[in-house]
Amino acid sequence: MRGPTLGWGLLASIVAIGPAAAEPTAETVARNCFVCHAPQQAGQRGIPHIGGYPPEAMVRELTLFKTDQRDGTIMSRIAKGLSEAQIQALAVYFSNRPW
Amino acid sequence: MTLYRTMDRTTSRRRLLAGGLAALGTTLAMPHVARGAGQKVVVVGGGYGGATAARYLRQLDPTLEVTLVERDWQLITCPFSNYVIAGTVEIAEITHGYEKLAAGSVTVVHEEAIGVDPAARAVRLAGGTSLAYDRLLLSPGIDLNYEGMPGYSEEAAEVMPHAWKAGAQTLLLRRQLEAMPDGGTVIMVAPANPFRCPPGPYERAGMIGYYLKSNKPKSKMIIFDPKESFSKQALFLRSYETLYPGIVQWVGGGSGGKVERVDPKAMTIEAGFGTEKGDVINVIPPQRAGKVAQLAGVTDEKGWCPIDPASMESRKVPGIHVIGDACIAGAMPKSATAANSQAKNAAAAMVALLKGQPVPEPSFANTCYSLVAPGYGFSVTGIYGATPEGIKEIAGGVSPLDASPQSRDQEATYAVDWYRGMAADAWG
């Protein structure tokens, strides 16, 4: 099931922001996520599958982790290293990968 | 299925010429010339770093000819090998083959790399042939420096196992624990920094504590350590006190924990405070980059490999990239996840460099789970960036000391998911 589509406002802001110079691309950052959020069926039980994840929901969840408004384990620590622009770019990246 | 693709010296020189012309092509801003040549990347070492790199190199540039050189037909992972020692996981569950990699688009050559000729851009194999490369990636892991612990040797490891390379040594340590009578003493000799898997010795001590408490509760597990601090220290020490009081004990450098010598005949260790006898003695000796890194000339005087933090290219020999435990990765630990992350960033850098393009900005990550009992896990994680001074941490940290039992259980579940994801990312 696909979630709500990305709002035009959000999309426009991502296009406008883009990756700053000397910032890794969303794809580069996302490759680190594959270790736990495996693209293939790796028989995982506890870790959510995030391919095709609704982008607005992902922005919300990562922001809640980043600001300690949601209980988490490693994601609370990882999200603090992601900029708002990176969070938005990752949300778009994963929403377009429905594996 | 494994396909061999080796070539003799003459062919390798001809390739070198072609490589030179291709390089000229890229400087003239004609990258298609270089790509048309079917550029060759050789990856040495089929662990987490090398296998992951081989897969991503092909994904990032399907025109590349990628050859993975790995002596062994199966890889037994160090991650989760502590659970094999404690008897909660079987070794078959942490054993991986190369069939999926070889069935895909990576050529897997099961031979030992015995040398690198950077001038000819060729890797020498034990069988007498050579593999030519345009860029080489070394992911050789570690070599154990037996001489670094007086009294210890490869032969002594048959009596006092290190179990720091998973396989026969892992099973030997497990059998020794199983054979030990209740009331026995298990000694671990922990290494000084740097070494593979900084939380590994302490996870092992916890899991041995779990085995002893469940099976031989009158026994003891004592860690002798030259260090005063170590990875996830507060979490480990709290877990020993909580789960294994009177069983697991840590003696740090300040309390005479530095072991000066081991005696495999007498089954003793000599530390600052005197001699201690053990029924089972696990010696984790000092380490250095895997042998092929030494042979390739990419190691420094301490035995590790300095690299450019953005591309993972050796600071000593151009055209050779080094990842994983062997390299000096700044703030990143020598861990499987670090090797995985370095593999992907190095693969992207190598693909860019082969096309004559700038190296993309990397993003590194690490996550290490430690279990000290089934259902009792905690983690360290970090994300990292490249700076001119080396790889620096951007954010990260360890599990809270006062986390709930539910959270510890959740992290234990995540550890298994992590293991499966990591294996799929590396060996398919």
Residues B334-363 as b or e (16 or more Cβ within 10 Å = b): bbbbbbbbbbbbbbbbbbbbbebeebbbbb
- Maximum Cα–Cα distance across chain A: 39
| Cα dist from A81 to A27, A78, B49, B87, B373, whole Å | 16, 6, 23, 37, 30
DSSP single-letter state for residue B162: -
Side-chain-side CA neighbours of residue A36 (13 Å): 21
At B178-194, the pLDDT tens digits run 999 999 999 999 999 99
Q: Do B424 and A40 touch (CB under 8 A)?
A: yes
Spell B413-424 as b/e; 16+ CB within 10 A means b: bbbbbbbbbbbb
**Nearest chain A CA: its distance from B127 CA (Å):** 35
Query: Which residues in B lie closer than 8 A to residue A81 (C-beta atoms)?
Result: 382-383, 394-396
Among all residues of chain A, which has the CA nearest to that of B56?
A: A31
pLDDT of B11 reads 33
pLDDT tens digits, one per residue of A34-59: 999 988 767 778 898 899 999 999 99
Contact criterion met (CB < 8 Å) for A74 and B367: yes
Task: Decide if A98 touches B, using CB distance below 8 A.
Answer: no
Contact between chains at A36 and B418 (C-beta distance less than 8 A) = yes
Is the Cβ pair A73, B396 closer than 8 Å? no
User: B93 in contact with A at a CB cutoff of 8 Å?
Assistant: no
pLDDT digits (tens, 9 = 90+) for B35-57: 345 899 999 999 999 999 999 99
Which residues of B, range 364-403, sit inside 8 Å of A by Cβ? Answer: 364-365, 367, 379, 381-383, 385, 394-397, 399
Per-residue pLDDT averaged across A72-97, rounded?
A: 95
Does the pLDDT value for residue A16 go beyond 60?
no
Residue tagged 């260090």 (tokens): B227
**How many other C-beta atoms are found inside a 10 Å radius of the C-beta of residue B5?**
13
Name the percent of chain B lying above pLDDT 90.
90
Q: How many angstroms separate the CA atoms of B282 and B222, rounded?
A: 10
For the stretch B218-240, pLDDT in tens is 999 999 999 999 999 999 999 99
Rounded to two decimals, what is the model's pTM? 0.89
Q: What's the rounded Cα separation, in Å, for the pair B166 and B344?
A: 24
Residue of A nearest to B412 (CA): A46
DSSP B199-246: THHHHHHHHHHHHHHHH-TT-EEEEE-S-S--TTHHHHHHHHHHHSTT
A positions 44-83 inside 8 Å of B (CB): 44-47, 73-74, 77-78, 80-82
Interchain CB contact of A32 with B (< 8 Å): yes
Q: Which residues of A touch B365 (CB under 8 A)?
A: 32, 35, 78
Residue B22 has pLDDT above 60, yes or no: no
Residue B142, C-beta contacts closer than 8 angstroms, at least 6 positions apart: B164, B165, B195, B196, B287, B288, B289, B290, B325, B326, B334
CB atoms near residue B409 (< 10 Å): 15
B203-219 mean pLDDT = 98
Q: Least CB-CB distance to B383: which of A31, A36, A81?
A: A81
Give B341-358 pLDDT, tens digit per residue.
999 999 999 999 999 999
